[in-house]
Amino acid sequence: MNGTQIFSKVAALTRRLYSPKYLAFTNIISGGFFLALSDGIEQCNERYGFLKTHVHVQNHQRHKWDWMRTGRMFAIGVALGPFNHYWYVYLDHFFPGIKKKTVFKKVILDEIIASPFFIVAFFVGAGMLEGKSLKKCMTSLKEKFPACYMVDWMFWPTAQVVNFYLLPTKYRVLYVNCVTVIWDVFLSYMNHVYKTEVSSDLSEEKTG
C-alpha cells in the first residue's frame, strides 16, 4: 500500500467519522481521548519538570505513571462529550452566520454558560471518581474555580472567535478538543498539583 492509498483511506475514514451518522460518537470519544492526552502531558511535566514545580522536585525519583488517573480523565471527557456536541449544534442553530455580532454573541454565551459548566463538571467529576465526598469536591471547586475561570476568559474567547468565524459546525468540537489539549493540561495541573504547591509555599513561609 503506497502513500496515496493510505491517504485516501484516512480521508475516507475521516469523512465517515464526521458524517451526520457518526458525528456525535466521534465528538464524544475524541473528547475523552484529548482529555486523557492532556493528563498524560501533565504527568510528564510532573515527572520530568518541563515546568519547575514543587511536585517535580518532590516526585522526580518516585513518580510512576498513574493509569487510573488517565482513565478518569478519559471518562470525564466522554461524559462531557454529549453536552459539548449538542452545545455547538444548538448554538449554530439559534445564532446562524458569521457576522461580527453573531460571533460575539456566541463567544459571550460560551463564556457565561458552557465554560462554568465544564469547569464545575471537571472538578466535581474528577473528585467523585477519585472517591472524594461531594462536600470535599465542592470545597476544592470553591478554591480553584475563581483562578480557572479568570484564565478561561484570557484563553477561550480568542480561540472561539476563530472557531465560530472560520469553521463549519461539524468541525467545531474537533477544533475545541485540539485546543483543549493545552487548556486541559492546565486543568489537570489545577486538579492534581495546585493545592500541593500552595501547601508547600505556605509551609516554606512558616518555617522561614
Q: DSSP assignment of 8-48, as one string? A: HHHHHHHHHHTSTTTHHHHHHHHHHHHHHHHHHHHHHHHHH
Contact 66, 44 (CB under 8 A): no
In a domain, 136, yes or no: yes
- Is pLDDT above 60 for 56? no
Provide the number of structural domains found in the chain: 1
In a domain, 204, yes or no: no
The whole domain housing 171 covers 3-74+85-192
In a domain, 202, yes or no: no
Reported as a single tens digit per residue, the pLDDT across 8-39 is 888 888 888 888 899 999 999 999 999 999 88
In a domain, 207, yes or no: no
The stretch 67-80 carries a mean pLDDT of 93
- pLDDT at site 161: 96
In a domain, 177, yes or no: yes
In a domain, 43, yes or no: yes
Q: Could you give the CA distance from residue 27 to residue 33 in angstroms, rounded to a whole number? A: 10
Contact 166, 159 (CB under 8 A): no
Spatial CA neighbour of 34 closest among 89, 76, 97, 90 = 76
